[in-house]
Chain A
Amino acid sequence: METINVKINGVDYAVPKGSTVLEAAKAANIDIPTLCYLKDINEIGACRLCLVEVSEGGKPYRMVTACVYPVTEGMSILTNTPKIMQSRKTNLELVLSTHEKKCLSCVRSTTCELQKLCLEYGVDESRFKGERIEYAIDDASPIIRDNNKCILCRRCVAACKNVQEIGVIGANDRGFDTHIASAFEMKLADTSCVNCGQCIVSCPVGAIYERDDTDKVREALADPTKHVFICTAPSVRAQIGECFGYEPGTDCEGKMVAALKRLGFDGVYDMNLSADLTIMEEATEFIGRVKNGGVLPMITSCSPGWIKYCEHYYPEFVDNLSTCKSPQQMFGAVVKTYYAEKMGWDPKDIFFVSAIPCTAKKFEVGRPNQAAAGVPDVDVAITTREVGKMISTAGINFKALADEPFDNPFDIGSGAGAIFGATGGVMEAALRTAAEVIEGKPLEKLEFDEVRGVEGVKLASYKLGDINLNVAVASGTANAKKVLEAVKAGELDVQFIEIMACPGGCVNGGGQPIQPADVRMAIDLRKVRAAVLYNDDITSDVRKSHENSAVKKLYDEYFGEPNSHKAHEILHTSYIKRGL
């Protein structure tokens, strides 16, 4: 790596050539405060919090914004002079002058980047008192926007427009009237928003958050007539530790299960199991499509953000979608049909909760054709953040809990189910099963390395028996667009595509614990979090969905075989051509 020499606060450093002052300082372990900056996503120098003084070529020092200013050979940088500190403080006060300071009950209190800076800089009530515009809160969709708290940093806009290439929110009007909203002031629910929640995890303050459904869960838990179950997605165990101060990438499965049992759930189940069930259905559906001339390429259907994206932007691909319900919906459907019958319960008396890293799942529970037993398959979907909040408000000391296992009879999940949470994981799980079903013998190597990793688009070719198979994996809707456009143009010949709406997959979902910009600058959350799942896989006794004994039992006792008539009725769904 080519380096150049700079002086930061009087000390010499060699820093990577081409870096910004902010990156150079970070490399030298010096933090510069930021607010609008989000690595690779929003680098626009708008908030003026990262002001530093620089001197180049012996010229006098002048103030620049560190997040966008490139370093040059021999540059001298000062990061904390009284002049800088005073300027940052004034800028903070200006930001605060239009910010609704309802910090006491704010969902982001203690994780708010603005609050943290105010604490550091000793900024309290703003010196600048003046007009403030009152905005109505948009709470018609699972993603709630409150412009009264918005600081106009544009991080959400960049996540939506540049990362996801959806762009349903942006800056409207001008000057003091500038505010973030949708076209013609539409509510998010009336736009082509896919509910991915990447805006939420990008927001430094409490201006965007998911609908809080925890009260509904608490009410059900307190109702003695209800059987209340929760199943947790692979990515929740991998990230929930972050709500309790663990480093990103800490597997907290056992503590999570123990905590949920203490909240009073009648059963705490492993969604890896229904991920395996999904694979049984999806791999069978795929083989069927290949052999019977069905619609190809087939595209996975686990990610409800992706589903809504497809329905709005690529309705012509709706028939390519696997008809399999997502693992969350399959789980609820199984519990309210098979398990209810087995236990002699009325499905109406079952309250099924799904814990997920996803905000789009809140939309999915209300979709049509997701009610196998005549009642919604899933009653409430709560995010990793909401699960964390429920545990802490219940006074449960998460860190002190001993590990506990998932509950019978839905406690077994394979390693293939575990990796569902990472981009490429569903593809790999499906390939493991499809390969063994087609070839009729065990795979020598279970890892399909070509579809692993955080690249936005991954292509690979395999030979399963006498079938030559080309596959594509995309994460993030912008990458989904690339793949689908290539398929449409006839440039990409693939038979099977995995798409997840969030970059990196569910591990980086919109419902995951929010990490501030400085953490996201230092580590790639997608990699660190996915590593937990791949480790789960290696250490699992069962690593193939079709070898999951709990899944086999479901087929033996209830569904008969994958894609049977009964399986179709209970485990499959339909889609809508929404358009724009």
Chain B
Amino acid sequence: MKKNLTTVTFRGTKAQEEQLIAVIESLRGTPGAMMPVLQQAQEIYGYLPIEVQKIIATHMGVSLEEVYGVSTFYSQFALNPKGEISIGVCLGTACYVKGSGDILDRIVEVLGLPAGSTTPDGKYSLEATRCIGACGLAPVLTVNNEVYGKLTKNDVDGILAKYK
């Protein structure tokens, strides 16, 4: 799926940058270092915005596009940070056939936020996830660590209201 660019202001610290540079230095000369560097960068920052990818490009001596190409190829890499309120809607097979697509659409409509992105203030993030292993409760969505199951799209507004 096409990845959405973030509109959230970058809040990286000097300490995070130093940590990332140390990671890159420790992997210097290792073939195929891009993947572990990106994985650890995501550990450090939680996501991979342009500011982080520029650090990687500069210190690895590759073009920014080379970093970006890899970061958009693998679904494990996020270009958006998780919001304070992080919503995941399961689009796994069981949930999908039980109508989770409609649930996702309703959330998109209410929050005005496309799936795979975060509101500019960093408050909400919305993700369409693969199967989360709660098929017995299909269709499900999660908000932070809470799981809501056996939903219809009419339940969406009520759930979101709890997290205002």
Interface residues in chain A, defined as those with a beta carbon under 8 Å from any beta carbon in chain B: 161, 166-174, 177, 182-185, 191, 580
Contact = CB atoms under 8 A, between A and B. Distances in A.
B68 A172 contact: yes
A177 B65 contact: no
Interface in B145-160: none
Summarize B's interface: helix, strand, loop or mixed: helix
B69 interface: yes
A56 B100 CA distance: 53
A168 B63 contact: yes
Contact of B53 (A161, A171, A183): A183
Interface stretch (B1-9, B37-45, B120-128): B1-9
A182 B2 contact: no
B63 A167 contact: yes
27 contacts: A161-B63, A161-B66, A167-B62, A167-B63, A168-B63, A169-B65, A170-B69, A171-B69, A172-B68, A172-B72, A173-B2, A173-B3, A173-B73, A174-B72, A174-B74, A182-B65, A183-B50, A183-B63, A183-B64, A183-B67, A184-B5, A184-B53, A184-B64, A184-B68, A185-B5, A191-B65, A580-B64
A183 B65 CA distance: 4
A170 B66 contact: yes
Nearest to A168: B65
A170 B72 CA distance: 11
Contacts of B62: 167
A169 B5 CA distance: 17
B58 interface: yes
Interface in B16-62: 50, 53-54, 58, 62
A172 B63 CA distance: 13
A194 B72 CA distance: 25
A168 B68 CA distance: 11
A169 B63 CA distance: 9
Nearest to B5: A184
Contacts of A161: 63, 66
B73 A170 contact: no
Interface string B61-99: 011111111001110000000000000000000000000
A180 to B, nearest CB: 10
Contacts of A168: 63, 65
A177 B2 contact: yes
Contact of A170 (B53, B65, B74): B65
A42 to B, nearest CB: 16
Contacts of B2: 173, 177
Given A170-B65, A172-B68, 5 more contacts: A167-B63, A171-B69, A172-B65, A172-B69, A174-B1
A182 B62 CA distance: 14
A171 B65 CA distance: 8
Nearest to B67: A183
A163 B54 CA distance: 22
10 closest Cβ pairs, A-B complex: A167-B63, A183-B68, A183-B64, A177-B2, A170-B65, A183-B65, A170-B69, A173-B72, A174-B73, A173-B2
